[in-house]
Chains A and B, each alone.
Chain A
């Protein structure tokens, strides 16, 4: 008997629903992206995101059920992201998921958003099994996570200030690329020289933590200095050099942490994991160190509900059940040991 999870995700600016079978087989993965709406404001506006979620939530859920060609009887549980994220946005998915689970008499399973991102790796990599080291990098999160089991984690490093994706957005804005910055810098960087400007790499002593605030400031100061001196800036070189600095830190920390914890595998997760240079650099570093490298396809790196269905499956099998009083928790911590 297979286990089907209906999963719902609304933690930021994507309204998403999916049906996932046995924690690997994605039967549907519907994402309504609000990105065009937020471009006008140069970033996600929580109130606008929350309003859009309410308008789209039912369509997205209905599409996920239809596309999966399942009936309600085939659904074993409803999984939903309940944190971390924007509280108003999370509440839409949580409220709808609870109501559906209640009305259909299905168990309710709350899922941690980051655990979802990590679990996205299981979708296309059937051979991947814990333990492994996972670098989770997105617009809101940057964590280096030692995955001990399907729902057991140890955070071995985290950003001390900006998330990696946040740094991408800020630098993109400074060189006039607009929002969202990640994909735009990735594209422009391909035409630039990554060694044109040696921006600082912040390595913390005795820790796998990272910091992108100093790097971001260095880029802004460099641009400012050039402007004062009337030096023309090659934006492609800036994009490539900045990106290289971010990637070097992410890759070095991942490999060092993997070695220190005896992991033979390294995985990427989160929106920044879509970055092609990061994927290439991490792959090369893993090969050099004799480690296996895993990554989700870009569609499973962005916020999506399929990953919540995978993480939800493991929670469900482990016996996790939430009550009808489940609340959105914007700062929900991971279940670490």
Chain B
């Protein structure tokens, strides 16, 4: 089974091809250029390098969110377009799930954190048991202090992954009681290889969606909606 992976949920633009248990190609760039300029040219490069016939793939996996709203939409619109044109299904992989999958097999509590501004993180908690990733806490936006409180109740060593690390590292070290570690350079950001590999598992579980219906998971309403609801609440 051949799965494409795309991740443009954060600063990293990343594309990958996974065929069964082999990562055929992975191309990640963590640089300031905007994803709309990089993502498709990167995919084109990977296609040419591996002489891939896009028609031969089985599905397209994408980091569906949370993350940068604009980044998510660039990735999602790209895979929706590919899915429509190639007549292939799309697998929406939660961004935190894919980040945790970078640390496959770890015996620690795995905590992806994405900077969500306003001293919040998009986060979730996972562990591996017999090679299977188990979600202990689903993805949500929460205050970094609340997150470290939850981690402390679990009384386990924890490893962090994601672009929230440089922002919250000091607070995490101060607040978390048990041993804390941070994923190294090659594992601590979004990787389309993880998105595709996890996508392949989801595909086998029947979790693929129609390219027409799939949409990003923002975990947050737009500012206008939030303000309107606050106003209605005050009435």
Contact = CB atoms under 8 A, between A and B. Distances in A.
Interface of A: 40-41, 45, 47-48, 50-51, 53-55, 57-59, 61-62, 72, 87-88, 91-100, 102-104, 323-328
Interface of B: 34, 36-41, 43-44, 54, 69-70, 73-74, 76-86, 211-212, 215-216, 218, 222-225, 228
Nearest to B227: A41
A7 to B, nearest CB: 14
Contacts of A96: 77-78, 80-81, 84
A88 B73 contact: yes
Contacts of B39: 95
Given A59-B212, A88-B70, A325 B80 contact: no
A100 B81 contact: yes
Contacts of A51: 69, 73, 216, 218, 222
B77 A99 contact: yes
A160 B167 CA distance: 43
A115 B227 CA distance: 36
A57 B77 contact: yes
Main secondary structure of the interface of B (DSSP, over half): helix
Given A54-B73, A103-B86, 11 more contacts: A45-B224, A51-B69, A57-B77, A61-B84, A62-B84, A91-B73, A96-B84, A98-B40, A99-B40, A99-B79, A327-B37
Given A45-B222, A50-B73, A88-B73, A99 B37 contact: no
Contact of A58 (B54, B212, B228): B212
A94 B35 CA distance: 12
A99 B78 contact: yes
A97 B74 CA distance: 11
Contacts of B44: 102, 324
Contact of B80 (A40, A41, A57): A57
Given A91-B36, A102-B40, A55 B73 contact: no
B53 to A, nearest CB: 11
Given A55-B215, A99-B40, A91 B223 contact: no
A54 B222 contact: no
Contact of B69 (A50, A98, A104): A50
Given A48-B225, A96-B80, A325 B40 contact: yes
A88 B80 contact: no
A59 B214 CA distance: 11
Contact of B77 (A48, A87, A91): A91
Contacts of B74: 91, 95
B77 A47 contact: no
A324 B78 contact: no
Contact of A40 (B69, B84, B228): B228
B5 to A, nearest CB: 15
A41 B228 contact: yes
Given A48-B225, A62-B212, A103-B86, A92 B36 contact: no
A281 B212 CA distance: 44
B95 to A, nearest CB: 16
Contact of B81 (A87, A99, A327): A99
A23 to B, nearest CB: 23
B76 A98 contact: no
Contacts of B34: 327
Contacts of A324: 40-41, 44
Nearest to B69: A47
A13 B77 CA distance: 16
Contacts of B73: 50-51, 53-54, 88, 91-92, 95
B222 A47 contact: yes
B17 to A, nearest CB: 15
A104 B85 contact: yes
Nearest to B83: A58
A334 to B, nearest CB: 21
Nearest to A103: B85
Contacts of B224: 41, 45, 47-48
B69 A54 contact: no
Nearest to A45: B224
A294 B135 CA distance: 62
A254 to B, nearest CB: 36
A72 B84 CA distance: 11
Contacts of B38: 325
